[in-house]
Amino acid sequence: MSQDQEDEKAPAELSASEMRENLVRLAFGGSETKLQHFCMILEKALPPDTAGVMRGSSVTGTRWEDGCEFDAEGPGTSDLDLTLVGGEVVDWFDPEAFYIPGVHSMPLCDERPDVCPRLTDLRAELIAMVGRPVNIQATKDWIMFLRERLMGQPYLTLIGKLE
């Protein structure tokens, strides 16, 4: 991540470095090495033109919907919201598993375990690593822009680059 990305403020007034600090502390037990390993696993499993971003309370510290703190219901109770950004990975999802067809998928999660069979093993590996649910969805880059700028939902880019 470049220094410009580190210093850029999200609508919630958290810089990328502050969101990364939250993520390391809340989801990776304070281990930057564990986060780096998580990112390495993503890079190996995904197409080269794919960005991976983390959204939600793991980067902001609180849930967007109700303001509750991460893991408010006890250790390991909050999930991680991983969004994969890129055209090829969007095509991996079942055509019936989209909020916006071909643009913004439903998440691969406990409630929807069949929406993207190609990512099932990756999801299981990530869950085992962090000891909590990891929900994975795919989207186009312009959706991330809308979510951040218009809806006030910041995200932290872990791998790749958004256009």
Q: Domain residue spans in the chain?
A: 3-159
Q: For residue range 92-120, what is the model confidence (pLDDT) as tens digits?
A: 999 999 999 999 999 999 999 999 999 99
Which residue shows structure tokens 């780096």? 36
Q: For residue range 127-151, what is the model confidence (pLDDT) as tens digits?
A: 999 999 999 999 988 677 666 666 6
Q: At what angle do helices 32-45 and 16-27 cross, to 10 degrees?
A: 100
Q: At 24, is the secondary structure helix, strand, or coil?
A: helix
Is the pTM for the entire model greater than 0.95?
Answer: no
Contact between residue 62 and residue 74 where contact means Cβ atoms under 8 Å apart = no
- C-alpha 21/C-alpha 35 separation (Å) is 11
pLDDT at 3: 40
Superfamily of domain 3-159: Beta Polymerase, domain 2 (3.30.460.10)
